[in-house]
Chains A and B, each alone.
Chain A
Amino acid sequence: MLRCPKCGFCRSVLPMAMREAKFGAQCPSGERWKFESYYASGRTEVGIALLEGRLKWTDKLNRILFACPTCGLCDWWCENISRHHPLKMLEELRKRYVEELGPLPGHKRFLDNIEERHNAYVEPHEERFVWMPEGIKPPAKADVMYFVGCTSSYREIEIAQATVEVLDKLGVDFGVMWGEEWCCGSPAFRTGNIDVAKKAMQHNLDYLKKIGAKTLITECPGCYRAFKDVAAYDLPEPEFEILHVTELIEDRVKELAKDGKLKKIEEKWAYHDPCHLGRHMMVYEPPRNVLKAIPGLELLELPRNRQNAWCCGSGGGVKASYPDFAIWAASERLDEVDYVGTKSLTTPCPFCRRNLRDASVAGERRIEVRDVMEILLRAL
C-alpha cells in the first residue's frame, strides 16, 4: 500500500487512447463523489490509516469501501506502474469490514438468499430453469456444461433463452446443471463475504467434478471470473476448461458467416466491455468478433473501450447497496452511446445489460440494450 505514489493514473483513460477530453476520466466512485477517499489512491490512505489504527472501523466507511463497482481500472494501471494492487486491497478491506461490523444491509439480503435459496435474488431455487425454451432439454451431464447464473436465470431470462437456442442451433452438445446449479458466489466474493461465496462455489465445483465436465461455459462474466479465480480464495483449481460462451462459438460463427449462412442485420450497435470479462479476464475480442461476423451489422466502439472501458456501475455489490450510484454510472456510459450516434447498445453480460437498461429507462434515454447472444440469435 505504501507503493501508491499518487500518480493519478488510477482515474484516467490511457492518454494515448483518449479521444475526447470529456470521456477522459475513469473511476466511477471517484467521479461521483470526487473526494480523494473515493479514488484508489485515497482509499489506499484510508486502508493504511485503518491498519495503523488512526481510523476506526465504523459505518462511516460504508460508502468509501463499498460504493465501488470494482471495475479494476485502478488495479490495471497500478499493477503496471507501481506494482500496487488497490483492488485486492479494497477486497481485503471489505472482508475486514464484514468481520468487524457485518455485511451491509443491502448485501445481507442477497447473502441470506444465496445460503437459503442458492441464488442472489429472492426466488425459489426450484424455479431456476423455468425459462428453458420448449423443445430444448439439455442433459444434466455433458462434456460441455453451460452455467447460466442467477441474473440470467431469474431476471434476464431472454439472455439465457437466447444462449441455449444459439448453442442448440450451432450444434453444440451441452448440458446444464438444473437443480445442482447454485449461485457462483460472485456477489459474495466481491463484497467481502468470502465464507458464503466459497460454500456456494464449492458445491458447483463438486458437482462439475462428479460428472466429469471437460468444459464449462458461462454467458455471465461475473460467473466466469468467479470460476476462473477460485484459486485466489483457496478453493481447488477446476480440472475443466472455463470459457465465455463467445470464446466457444467465435470460430463456428465465423465459419457460418464465411459460408453465407448468417442473416443480414443492418443496424449500428455500440459495444460495452463488461469489466469482469474485459479488464479482469482480458477477453476483449471474442464478443466483438461474433458481432463483426454478422453481415450488415456495424459495430461501433465507445470512446472508452477495452482496458479503458467505463464500468456500467452495477458490480461489486453496488447495485444492491447504492442503486442510485449504479444508475448514475450507467448514465455516464449511455452518454458515450449518444456520442457515437446510435440508440443501440450491446454487451455480453446480463448484469451490465440490466443496469444499463435501467439507466436508459430512468433517464428516458430510449437506448435499447441487448445481449450479444440476443443479436446473434436473430442472425442464425
Chain B
Amino acid sequence: MEKTVYDRLADVVGSEWVSDEPEITVGYSRDLATYARFGRSRSPACIVMPGSTSEVQDIMNVARRFKLPIVAIGTALNISAAHILHAGGILLDFKRMDKILEIDEENCTATIQPYVTLARLSCEMQKRNMFIPIPGAPSTASALSNLVVWGDTHKVTGRIDFQYMCVVGVEMVLPDGKVLRTGSLADVYTDESFWPHGPGPDLWMLQRWVPNSYGVVTAATVRGYPLDAEFKPFWVAFEDIEDAAAAYIEYCREEITTGSSLYGGFKYHYFMDTDECGWRAGRIHPKFMLCLTLQGTKRRVEYEENTLRRIVDKYGGRVLTDRLPFYQMFVDSHIGMAGSFSSDLGATKYIFCFGIGPGFIGPITPGNLERTWKTYARLIAEDPNMGDPEEWNFPFDIGLIGYPCPGGHYMMIELFATVFPNEPLAKKINPRFYRKLWKELERIGVSGEHGRLGTGRSSELGVIPTYYKLAEGFKEILDPEGIMHPGEWLPSVSYKR
C-alpha cells in the first residue's frame, strides 16, 4: 500500500490499528464461502480497525480521495464472500467497535456496534428477561450484520416474524463520509420516544442483501421481545417425509409455536456426545424430526400443546421429548441460535462438523417439501460417487433443515450432503451435481436465492430483478465512485476507478 495512504489511515486510527503486512492481511483472505464452495482466496491491501463512527467517516474520506475499494466485516463469519475484495483495497475490521451501547428495557431495544456477537447480545437481553430473534447464524456471528444485512432466514415463525423486522434503527457511514441514520436513530427531536421505523422516509432495509454496497453500518438499534412466562420445547419424530411434511404444514397453518424447524438426516449429531452416539441414534430413531417451541401464557402453552399433540397423533409421529432445558427457545437446535441440547459437547455439533456439501438453500412452498426432498435424495442415490456406498463412506449422507415463514405460505429449506467441501471428492462431485440439482429442482418449481448459495440467480427470478434494479439505482446515487466492494453484489455497476 502506498505510504501516503497508509500514513493517512494510521493518522486516523493510530498506527497500532492499521496493517498492510502480508502476515496480517492473509488472515482475512478466506471466509466460509471459500470453505464451502468457492476457491477464491484473496488478501486485502490493508486492514484498518476504526474505534468510532467518526473514524469510519475519516477512513471513508481517505478511500474516496484515493479511489480505493473498501469493504467492512463484522465477525468475519459469512457465507457469501462478503468481505473478500476482488483486488487490493481497504478492509475495515470492527473488532474495536464491540460495545452494546444501550439496552432500553422500557422499549425492549438494544443499540449495538458491529462486533457485538449474537451470543453476547442474547446473553445481556436474557438477563433482562428479553430475547432477540436470532437469524440463521451461529452465536459467534455479528448481530448487526446478520439482522441488518440478512435476517431473512426465518428461524422464528408465527408470532415473531422475520428477524430483520426487529431492526428499528441503523447508523450508516456513506461513501462521501456523511452519516445516514434511519428509524429511531434518526429521530433527533425527542430523545425519549420510540418510533421503530419513523420518522420516515425510512431506509432501514437499504443494506439488505447487498452488504458493503452503499456504505458501512456502524450501529443499529434492534428490538427484543419480552420473555414469556411459560415455554416448552418439543422434539417430535416421524418415520417418513410424507408425514413429517404434512404435520409441518399443519403446524404452520395453525400458527402455533414461536420456533419451529424440520430436521432430517444427520440431525442427531446436534445433540449427541460423540459421533458414534450420533450414528447409532440415527439408526434407531425416526429419520425426520420437528423441533417446536411453545411459549406464552400458561393458557396459551396449554392450547398449543394440545394442538401439537393432536397433530402428532394424526400423522403417526411421536414426541421424543418435551423436557429440554431453556436456552433460546425461539429458535431450535442450532448452537448459538438455540440449543435445546442435552449436553455441552452435543452443542458443539453444529453443521460445520460436516461442512456444506453439494446442496441447496432457498425458499419453497411447504407443499413442495416432500417432492424436493425426494428429488434430492434420488439425485444423491443416482450419483456415481455419492450413490456408491464404498466410496461415499458417510452413514447419513444427506440432511434437511426447514423453517417456515410467517403464516406458513412458504418456507426456507437447506439440503446438505455430509462432506468436507475442500476434500478432493467434493470438488469432483460439486460442479456436476449442482447442475443436475438445479435443473431438477427447477423442473418441480423450486428455485432459490440466498446470497451465492441459492440455485436461482437474480436473472432467473421474477421479483428479485426489480429489487436489484432499485438497488443499482441507490448504488449510483450513494456510491458514484464505486468504491464500496466493487464488483460484488451489484455487479452491473462498474467500478469507476
| Contact status of A6 and B24, CB under 8 A, knowing A12-B140, A21-B100, A81-B348 | no
> How far is it, in angstroms, between the C-alpha of A42 and the C-alpha of B123 when the chains are bound?
26
B339 pairs with A15, CB closer than 8 A = yes
Q: Mark A25-63, 1 if CB is under 8 A from B, else 0.
A: 000000000111111011101100100001100001100
A12 pairs with B29, CB closer than 8 A = no
Q: Does B352 contact A (CB under 8 A)?
A: yes
Q: Mark B66-84, 1 if CB is under 8 A from A, else 0.
A: 0000000001110000000
Residues of A within 8 A of B75 (CB): 8
Which of these binds chain A: B114-122, B304-312, B451-459? Answer: B114-122
| Contact status of A45 and B26, CB under 8 A, knowing A24-B123, A34-B95, A80-B353 | yes
Residues of B within 8 A of A61 (CB): 23
A37 pairs with B336, CB closer than 8 A = no
CB of B345 to closest CB in A, whole Å: 6
Interface residues in B1-38 (C-beta closer than 8 Å to A): 17, 19, 21-24, 26-32, 35-36
CB of A353 to closest CB in B, whole Å: 28
> How far is it, in angstroms, between the C-alpha of A14 and the C-alpha of B343 when the chains are bound?
12
Residues of B within 8 A of A140 (CB): none
A37 pairs with B23, CB closer than 8 A = yes
Pick the residue among A2, A24, A60 that contacts B21 (CB under 8 A): A60
CB of A252 to closest CB in B, whole Å: 30
Q: Does B376 contact A (CB under 8 A)?
A: no
> How far is it, in angstroms, between the C-alpha of A54 and the C-alpha of B124 when the chains are bound?
42
Q: Does A109 contact B (CB under 8 A)?
A: no
B124 pairs with A21, CB closer than 8 A = yes
> How far is it, in angstroms, between the C-alpha of A4 and the C-alpha of B35 when the chains are bound?
7
Pick the residue among A12, A60, A82 that contacts B353 (CB under 8 A): A82
Interface size class of A (residues with CB under 8 A): 35 or more
Q: Does A240 contact B (CB under 8 A)?
A: no
B352 pairs with A81, CB closer than 8 A = yes
The residue in chain B whose Cβ has the minimal distance to the Cβ of A2 is B422
| Contact status of A37 and B120, CB under 8 A, knowing A16-B339, A77-B348 | no
> How far is it, in angstroms, between the C-alpha of A77 and the C-alpha of B75 when the chains are bound?
17
Q: Does B412 contact A (CB under 8 A)?
A: no
Q: Does B60 contact A (CB under 8 A)?
A: no
Residues of B within 8 A of A39 (CB): 27
| Contact status of A11 and B353, CB under 8 A, knowing A16-B347, A43-B27 | no
Residues of A within 8 A of B353 (CB): 80-83
> How far is it, in angstroms, between the C-alpha of A8 and the C-alpha of B49 when the chains are bound?
18
Residues of A within 8 A of B349 (CB): 80-81
> How far is it, in angstroms, between the C-alpha of A234 and the C-alpha of B341 when the chains are bound?
39
B352 pairs with A5, CB closer than 8 A = yes
| Contact status of A55 and B26, CB under 8 A, knowing A5-B32, A12-B119, A16-B344 | yes
CB of A275 to closest CB in B, whole Å: 18
Q: Does B90 contact A (CB under 8 A)?
A: no
A37 pairs with B24, CB closer than 8 A = yes
Q: Does B93 contact A (CB under 8 A)?
A: yes
| Contact status of A14 and B347, CB under 8 A, knowing A6-B30, A35-B47, A36-B93 | yes
Residues of B within 8 A of A42 (CB): 26-28
Q: Does A19 contact B (CB under 8 A)?
A: yes
Residues of B within 8 A of A81 (CB): 348-350, 352-353
A12 pairs with B117, CB closer than 8 A = yes
B28 pairs with A36, CB closer than 8 A = yes
Q: Does B335 contact A (CB under 8 A)?
A: yes
> How far is it, in angstroms, between the C-alpha of A11 and the C-alpha of B32 when the chains are bound?
16
> How far is it, in angstroms, between the C-alpha of A305 and the C-alpha of B336 when the chains are bound?
19
Q: Does A134 contact B (CB under 8 A)?
A: no
Q: Does A3 contact B (CB under 8 A)?
A: yes
Pick the residue among A3, A6, A21, A60 that contacts B420 (CB under 8 A): A3
Residues of A within 8 A of B119 (CB): 12-13, 15, 18, 24
Interface residues in B328-354 (C-beta closer than 8 Å to A): 335-336, 339, 341, 344-345, 347-350, 352-353
Chain A to chain B contacts (Cβ below 8 Å), 6 pairs: A7-B350, A17-B344, A24-B120, A36-B24, A80-B345, A80-B353
Q: Which residue numbers of B lie inside 8 Å of A, CB to CB? A: 17, 19, 21-24, 26-32, 35-36, 47, 49, 75-77, 93, 95-96, 100, 116-117, 119-124, 138-141, 327, 335-336, 339, 341, 344-345, 347-350, 352-353, 355, 420, 422
The 6 closest A-B pairs by CB, nearest first: A42-B27, A36-B27, A8-B140, A80-B348, A37-B27, A21-B120
Q: A5-B35, A12-B140 are in contact. List 13 more A-B contacts (CB 8 A).
A: A2-B420, A6-B35, A7-B32, A14-B348, A16-B347, A17-B344, A21-B121, A34-B17, A39-B27, A45-B27, A45-B28, A49-B26, A55-B26
